[in-house]
Amino acid sequence: MIRRQDSIIITTLTRLLTPFIQLFGLYVIMHGHSSPGGGFQGGVILGAGFILLAISFGIDEAKQRFSEGLIAVFSSAGVFIFAGIGLLCLFLGANYLDYGILPVVEPRSLGMLGVEIGIGITVMAVMISIFRDLLTFE
């Protein structure tokens, strides 16, 4: 069981670090197009940021912050974005996941971006969820 750390150094440091970790995670998701990275990698970094918070502030507080329902909503929302983009292509008259039909500039590139964001959300939520489940099981 992980409890809140009493050390002020740890709590302050994690508080300072977390925004940067999350920013980096977002960067990795967004720049999956032109540099190594993408939804999975970025999602894991985002999730790791939250897990770091949970470790230093104790599981009880973390449990309050990320309720089970919220995590479930997030993780299914991520896949839903992915599958929904595919379905949108279907409704617009092309094959499933054929981004070429989307009504935006450079549709394939943007379609991929949307997909990556969806993946990122799911991976983040699932990482937190597995961590939380493993910890809180008695």
Of residues 102, 120, 134, the one with CA closest to residue 1: 134
From CA 38, how far away is CA 21, in angstroms rounded?
Answer: 15
Of residues 57, 24, 18, the one with CA closest to residue 43: 24
Does position 95 bind other proteins by CB under 8 A? yes
Q: Which of 13, 92 has the CB closer to other proteins?
A: 92
Of residues 90, 88, 111, the one with CA closest to residue 99: 111
Window contacting other proteins (CB under 8 A); options: 2-10, 12-20, 53-61, 90-98: 90-98
From CA 133, how far away is CA 63, in angstroms rounded?
Answer: 10
Does position 73 bind other proteins by CB under 8 A? yes
Which positions lie near other proteins, rule CB under 8 A? 32-36, 38, 40, 68-69, 71-73, 75-76, 78-80, 82-83, 86-87, 90-100, 106, 108-109, 111-112, 115-116, 118-119, 122-123, 125-126, 129-130, 133-134, 136-138
